[in-house]
Amino acid sequence: MTSPAPTPAIRIRDLVKTYAGGKQALRGVSLDIPQGSMFGLLGPNGAGKSTMINIMAGLVNKTAGGVEIWGFDIDRDPRNAKASIGIVPQELMFDAFFTPYEVLELQAGLYGVPRSRRRTMEILEAMKLADKAHVYSRTLSGGMKRRLLIAKALIHNPPILVLDEPTAGVDIELRQQLWAYVRQLHAAGTTVVLTTHYLEEAQELCDRIAIINHGQVVANETKASLMAQAHDKVVVVRLDREISSPPACLAGFDARLRDPWHLAVTYDTRRMSAGRVLGALAEAGIGIEEVTTEEADLEDVFLRLTQHQAPGALAAAPESPHGNQ
Ligand code: ADP
């Protein structure tokens, strides 16, 4: 007999959210986030990721369906559900006139952490904020504020940490520091859920990845099995002329223009070869100046799963225009 599967850290069933005004942000999402996983939640802008996280955080009311956090139902046992999760929001919001130490002490108070069990200085040290413990939060740099948000989410020692786009607009050095710390937490047993636009980040960090698109789960697999779908290769052709859309001769192919001179055709290596793509172009009388091939990666799998319903909603978002604030 196999032993029963452990309770998932987060269990979501048939979750629906319709905002006032009629926008259906979640259309029946069911998802298990296993205990101890480093779980990536990916999706193009507007897919419903923040809505999901805000429902878990108790900030948005769901329309239908169920959510259990660490086995606690968010409707029937909201206190325990809330105590089991720490959420790092996207926005940097603090009371400017509190010091990091005070921000954390207040948060600990809100969660009813007794003084004897508070780890305020320990967490500030771990987030490299100990020397800023007693300055006004408004004087912190963007990166420090981001670390303070993580510290705040950890103050009640939750078994689950959720990071909502934690590195949008964060410089590379800080990003690496953040991930090093998140990896440590994960190694120490914390279940980590992160939403990110940076697919390479999910590819590097996460052991399991769910992709949502238009309020529905379109993939939910281990990273390894998602990557195994990357049977595709991309052949990029520099043409002898400018074109404004993929030529008709490639109608049966997954062809996209990178710019008016470069055509990228994704093909499944099990069924197709670059030669067939080039042959089709030659037959149509289109001259080729240069050919390169690229291996597919998570981004290609992601695009394949999301692009048909959401043309133009690319995964690799530009850096936040607001920079590191
Ligand atoms: P993501 O985090 O994946 O970018 P969101 O959950 O923010 O997606 O948004 C999902 C959809 O719900 C989008 O179409 C968005 O415009 C809409 N939406 C989000 N918040 C609200 C709100 N408060 N009122 C109405 N519509 C909303």
User: 52 lies in a domain?
Assistant: yes
User: 180 lies in a domain?
Assistant: no
* 47 in contact with ligand 1, CB cutoff 6 A: yes
Question: Per residue in 78-93, is it b (16+ CB within 10 Å) or e — as a string?
Answer: eeebbbbbbbbbbebe
Asked if 55 and 75 sit in the same domain, the reply is yes
CA of 48 to the centre of ligand 1 (A): 6
Give the residue, by CA position, lying nearest to ligand 1 atom 18.
25
Residue 51 alpha carbon, nearest atom of ligand 1: 6
CA of 25 to the centre of ligand 1 (A): 6
Asked if 36 and 80 sit in the same domain, the reply is yes
Query: Given a cut of 50, is residue 314 above it in pLDDT?
Result: no
Asked if 26 and 59 sit in the same domain, the reply is yes
Predicted confidence at residue 70, as pLDDT, reads 96
Predicted confidence at residue 321, as pLDDT, reads 38
Q: What total number of domains does the chain contain?
A: 2
Average the pLDDT over 171-194 and give the result: 88
Of 256 and 197, which is predicted with more confidence? 256
* 196 in contact with ligand 1, CB cutoff 6 A: no
Query: Which of 12, 15, 18, 23 has the most ligand 1 atoms within 8 A of CB, as the residue to mutate?
Result: 23
Predicted confidence at residue 5, as pLDDT, reads 58
Average the pLDDT over 216-229 and give the result: 86
Predicted confidence at residue 323, as pLDDT, reads 36
Q: Which residue has the tokens 């912190």?
A: 140
* 308 in contact with ligand 1, CB cutoff 6 A: no
Residue 215 maps to which CATH number? 3.40.50.300
Q: Which domain holds residue 216?
A: 7-84+195-228
Residue 36 CA: distances (Å) to CA of 64, 85, 154, 191, 203: 27, 13, 16, 4, 17
Predicted confidence at residue 172, as pLDDT, reads 79
Predicted confidence at residue 319, as pLDDT, reads 37
Asked if 242 and 223 sit in the same domain, the reply is no
Asked if 209 and 258 sit in the same domain, the reply is no
Give 110-148 pLDDT, tens digit per residue: 999 999 889 999 999 988 899 999 999 888 988 888 889
Predicted confidence at residue 294, as pLDDT, reads 83
* 21 in contact with ligand 1, CB cutoff 6 A: yes
Asked if 272 and 217 sit in the same domain, the reply is no
pTM confidence score: 0.76
pLDDT above 90 coverage of the chain, percent? 50
Predicted confidence at residue 4, as pLDDT, reads 54
Residue 271 maps to which CATH number? 3.30.70.1560
pLDDT above 70 coverage of the chain, percent? 91
* 266 in contact with ligand 1, CB cutoff 6 A: no
CA of 70 to the centre of ligand 1 (A): 26
Give 9-34 pLDDT, tens digit per residue: 999 999 999 999 999 999 999 999 99
